[in-house]
Structure 1
Amino acid sequence: MRIGDICTVQTVHCKRDVTVQDAALLMRNHHVGDLVVVEQPNGERVPVGILTDRDIVVSVIALGLDPASLLVGDVMSGELMTANEEDDVYETIDRMRFKGIRRLPVVNSLGGLAGIVCIDDLIEFLAQEMGELSRISASQLEHEKKARH
């Protein structure tokens, strides 16, 4: 299955020049724990970083810094890994596990933001897969009963 099929399409995003305080309010208003930081060079929202609620706590609040005076670009996680929406779910899981990444922006063929996938999305997908596997035994018994009568 493609990662684009299970990612969250309605992705909350902002630009680097937004204050950390405004970014925190955006997270609060949309009930999310992260923002994808984008640039729009050719009309496409291209992911360039990610800002998490943890980034704000560890890099701003814990140090006693003023979130109204810092920009998202100053504290965002910069080394950004993305997945193409055509990438295989299991390969994406392997990449996230290898890098220790909990959230991953998903991009379209032009490099524009298509969504975001997080651990919760993957757990839900895998739980559904496990549910389908659990039905194999019941299905096998039904086929066996029909074949013997």
Structure 2
Amino acid sequence: MPINECCKLDVVCCDPELSLPDTAALMRKNHVGDVVVIESRGNARMPIGIVTDRDIVMETMALQLDASLFTAGDIMNTPLVTVKENAGFVETLRLMRSHGIRRMPVVTESGSLYGIVTADDIVRALALELSLVTEVMSGQTAHERRLRK
């Protein structure tokens, strides 16, 4: 199954110049733990970094720095690790594991932002697939019982 079947298409994005307090407010308003930092190139949104709620805490608050002095671009994670929209679950999970990340922007072949996938999204999709397999297995037993009375 390609990753584009379980990723979220409504990605919360910001420019690198957005202040950190405004970045945090954007996360709060949208109930997300990350914001993808983008550059606009024509009509395309090109992802250049990502800021997570943990980044804000670790890079400013934990160091007792004034977050209002920083922008999303100052603390964004770069180089950004992305996955192509037609990549499979296993390839995506391997990338996440090897880079130690739980959230990954999904991009088109041209590199523009398509969506975002989290480890939680993949677990939910795999759980659904496993429940379908379980239904097949239990359905087969019930079917066989009906045939062999």
Scaled to the shorter chain, the TM-score interval is over 0.9
Cα deviations by residue, 1:54-90 (Å, 9 ceiling, x for unpaired): 0000001111212212111111111211011111122
1:5 Cα offset (Å): 1.0
Deviates more, 1:12-21 or 1:136-145: 136-145
Shift of residue 31, structure 1, vs aligned partner: 0.8
CA distance in 1, matches of 2:126, 2:94: 13
The AA in structure 2 aligned to 1:70 is: F
Structure 2 counterpart of 1:4: 4
For 1:98 and 1:132, the matched residues in 2 are separated by: 29
> Residue deviations 1:115-145, cap 9 Å, x none?
1000110110111111112123212213323
In the alignment, what sits opposite 1:66? 66
Partner Cα separation in structure 2 for residue 84 and residue 143 of structure 1: 41
1:10-32 residue CA offsets vs partner (Å, 9 max, x unmatched): 10000111111110111111111
- The question of 1:16 aligning with 2:8 is answered no
Q: Which runs of 5+ in 2 are unaligned?
A: none
SS in 2 for 1:18: coil
1:140 corresponding residue in structure 2: 140
Cα distance in 1, alignment partners of residues 123 and 147 from structure 2: 37
1:76 equivalent in alignment to 2:76: yes
Q: Secondary structure at the match of 1:87?
A: coil
CA–CA distance in structure 1, aligned partners of residues 82 and 38 of structure 2: 12
For residue 102 of structure 1, report the CA deviation from its aligned partner: 0.3
For 1:138 and 1:62, locate their aligned partners in 2 and report how far apart those are by CA, in whole Å: 52
In structure 1, the gaps of 5 or more residues are: none
For 1:94, give the aligned amino acid.
Answer: R
Q: Who is 1:28 aligned against?
A: 28
CA separation in 1, counterparts of 2:66 and 2:139? 60
Question: The residue matched to 2:48 in structure 1 has which SS?
Answer: strand
Q: What amino acid does structure 2 have at the position aligned with 1:53?
A: D
Q: TM-score, normalised by structure 2?
A: 0.93
Q: What amino acid is aligned across from residue 14 of structure 1 in structure 2?
A: C
Give the partner amino acid of 1:137: M
How large is the RMSD of aligned CA atoms in angstroms?
Answer: 1.3
Partner secondary structure for residue 40 of structure 1: strand
Corresponding residue number in structure 2 for 1:113: 113
TM-score normalized by the length of structure 1: 0.93
